[in-house]
A and B are shown apart, each in its own frame.
Chain A
Amino acid sequence: MKKNTNLLKLIIAIVLVLGISVMQHTPSAVAEIPMQQDGPANRIYIDVTYDPVTQTYSLGGFSSAELEQYGAPGFTPELWQVLASLDSITLKLENEQFNLVTDEEQLASIAWDASSRQILYGMLDAYIELGRVDLDRAEAWLDKADIEFSLRNSKELSDPLLIQLATLLQVNIDDDNGAVNVEGIPTGFGLTPEIQEMIRAANLNNIKLCWNKGVIDSEINGSTLPQLTLYEGGINVVDRAFGLSLGDLGPIFDSTFGAGIVFGEGDPVTGECLP
């Protein structure tokens, strides 16, 4: 009898120890997203190299042939005439300064603080009518932006494209005709009636989509979907299997950006993609 009592005590002790330890450990398969310290920062670096002799150009690490394959337009003869007389042009927007440098000589420097931007928006609105472009959205993009656009007279391949956008691109799909607007600007693209019908049937209000160097995080109607990681090697296999001729995807796999897609009058997508 005493032996049995001891055995029972042992089992109860094991159950208690296991129960407490299970409660103290909360397993999770979701990787922790590092919190960004300084708010959103949008970095864009676009390098273009051009050769006036062959009248070809390379952009963002893509060769002239690749750009042609993607349907990129060629430069006009007038533009080639201007470019042929220059060695380089760099437009750089950094912190609160906007600089224009040609042939390593500073050509202009404009203050780029909030009040200067307001003056610029006023001028733009007066001349080209900004229309549906939301000035708050423009500020969300341009505040803490670091943008460099470089044009170089060189036969070399351009530097890879750098896109690191913390601010979500606001995409709106019109409920009636499926027209796609990005940041309030019509793109000319639209969803087919079949896809619109599918979206209605699935009761989709909004989608948050974040691409961070191959890692795709997404939310549908606020519910998180599994995290998908694409590797360049994997995309190359798909490319070879189906003959897609995707070319060099390195710049895309070095980029970070995201979009908040809203269907009709669905709730707007908030937050940002944290690189």
Chain B
Amino acid sequence: MSRTLRTTLITLGVLLLLYGVFYFLGRPAIPLPTIRYPVPQGQTLHNLVTATEADEIKLDLNTKGSLNLTSAGEELVKLNFTPQTLATTLDLALKLAPGETLQAYQQFVDRFPVYPWLLRYTSELFFHVLPIRFSVVMTP
């Protein structure tokens, strides 16, 4: 067995072993650094942020299927999703979108036919295999 093949197999084995541990721990979402976003005055979102007592809204997206909006620990809105429900929402949003959005999307898909598959694959990957979590803190 060549040295390259051996190294590849060992790396693969270590990766699988690590993922096994990760899986048996319940696939906790991998946290990414929190982004702070000062919302410019005049935006609708700015009014919402300033209407909270803490002057802050935190958006938490967990690709395992939840999106939470909180303010100083108080829950404001929560969305639970699966790749299927997300696909239904996207499909509906495209049909309801004003103007030529649907046609533009269809033209894009005609050029890149792999796109719908890639989109579904990505959402399935981050939902089932490698969930990640990221947060955006919105301040005035």
Chain A residues engaging chain B, CB cutoff 8 angstroms: 1, 4, 7-8, 10-11, 14-15, 17-18, 21-22, 25, 27-31, 198, 201-203, 220, 223-231, 233-234, 237-238, 240-242
Contacts and interface: CB of A to CB of B under 8 A. Distances in A.
B7 to A, nearest CB: 11
B35 interface: no
Given A4-B6, A27-B27, A18 B19 contact: yes
* In the A-B complex, the 8 residue pairs with the closest CB atoms: A29-B65, A234-B76, A241-B51, A202-B95, A226-B81, A240-B51, A229-B78, A241-B47
A230 B75 CA distance: 9
A237 B88 contact: no
B80 A226 contact: yes
B136 interface: no
A170 to B, nearest CB: 22
B9 interface: yes
B48 A241 contact: yes
A16 to B, nearest CB: 11
Most B CB within 10 A of own CB, among A25, A203, A230, A237: A237
Contact of A11 (B12, B69, B79, B84): B12
B80 A227 contact: yes
A31 B24 CA distance: 21
B3 to A, nearest CB: 11
Which secondary structure characterizes the binding site on chain B?
helix
Nearest to B24: A21
B118 interface: no
B16 A226 contact: no
Contacts of B79: 226-229
A198 B95 CA distance: 8
B84 A224 contact: yes
B23 A226 contact: no
A219 B23 CA distance: 32
A229 B80 CA distance: 8
A8 B13 CA distance: 9
A14 B76 contact: no
Contacts of A27: 27, 64, 128
A30 B78 contact: no
A14 B17 contact: yes
A22 B23 contact: yes
Nearest to B82: A29
Contacts of A22: 23
A11 B88 contact: no
Contact of B50 (A202, A229, A241): A241
A10 to B, nearest CB: 7
A228 B77 contact: yes
23 contacts: A14-B17, A18-B16, A27-B128, A29-B64, A29-B66, A29-B80, A30-B65, A30-B82, A202-B96, A220-B88, A223-B84, A224-B85, A224-B88, A225-B85, A225-B89, A227-B81, A229-B80, A231-B78, A233-B71, A233-B75, A233-B76, A237-B48, A237-B52
A14 B13 contact: yes
A237 B47 CA distance: 9
B88 A231 contact: no
Contacts of A225: 85, 88-89, 92
Given A18-B19, A229-B80, A231-B77, 17 more contacts: A4-B6, A17-B20, A18-B23, A21-B24, A25-B23, A30-B65, A31-B80, A202-B96, A227-B81, A228-B79, A229-B77, A230-B77, A233-B71, A233-B74, A237-B48, A240-B51, A241-B48
